[in-house]
Amino acid sequence: MEVTGDTDVSYFREIDVNTAELKGTLYVTDSVTKAKQLRDAGEAVLIYFHDGNGKEDFSDFTFGVEDPENLEADYVERVYRRLKSLPWNILETRRCLIRETTPEDVEDFFRIYSDPAITEFMEGLYPDQEQEKEYIREYIKRIYTFYEFGVWTVVEKSSGTVIGRAGFSYREGYDEPELGFIIGVPWQRKGYGEEVCRGILDYGTGKLGFQEINALAETRNEASLKLCDKLGFQAVQELYIGERDYFLLKYFKEI
């Protein structure tokens, strides 16, 4: 699309983002000047890279494409969400929505982690909510933006309540992603953990292409070990980490 009034612009496109939850516009341009103007006005901007603008400095912009005319709707929505600081919805199970975590979830996390049963087998949160919110902000920038996966928030669809966290991370020294999960005490023993983890494992082996997925559970954490067994994990090694005994478990993609 030609745009008059700006000789720096040879391509400019407005893409409507229109879903049940979102209404907005993603702007696509090959001009660094136009891109900065739009961004400074609070708009979501996607850069079009081509031979003619290869020497321009687009280092301030996170997202760019080489074929702006054939963008999938899912990609457009996700870029718009990221640039507008809106969480991506990852997947849904029968009773739960798994979405990216936001700083606003921290108050719910503190409520969940306040039960001593939660931190018996896992690390707690930062002592101050603002510290935890800052950690989440950095996590969004450094993990979600560049890996497109991580540990997510679990929401009960019927009530809209945050009931836990689950997702993937990488542990130092291991090549395979690791499944982690936590369901708040009021929602335990109701099948939420199995339901959520099965959905995430399917997402990991399908959408993300993982062939093997690890899990780490303390040898005395009977509930987690029982769930991992239901999910199809196999114990392959016993480890001693930080004065605690763990089982390393593995899940293999079905062929």
Q: What string of DSSP letters covers 82-139? A: HHTT-PPEEEE-SSEEEE---GGGHHHHHHHHTSHHHHTSS----SSHHHHHHHHHHH
Predicted local distance difference test score (pLDDT) of residue 4: 44
Q: Number of helices (H) and strands (E) in the chain: give both, helices first.
A: 8, 12
Instruction: Name the 3-class secondary structure at 136.
Output: helix
Q: Which amino acid is at 252?
A: F
Predicted local distance difference test score (pLDDT) of residue 180: 96
Backbone angles phi, psi at 94, to 5 degrees: -60, -40
Predicted local distance difference test score (pLDDT) of residue 9: 76
Predicted local distance difference test score (pLDDT) of residue 242: 84
Token readout for 233 is 């994990």
Predicted local distance difference test score (pLDDT) of residue 122: 87
Instruction: Name the 3-class secondary structure at 114.
Output: coil
Q: CB neighbours (10 Å) of residue 137?
A: 13
Provide block-wise average pLDDT over 10 residues at a time, the chain (255 residues).
Answer: 54 92 94 95 96 92 95 93 93 98 97 94 93 96 91 98 98 95 96 98 96 96 96 95 93 86
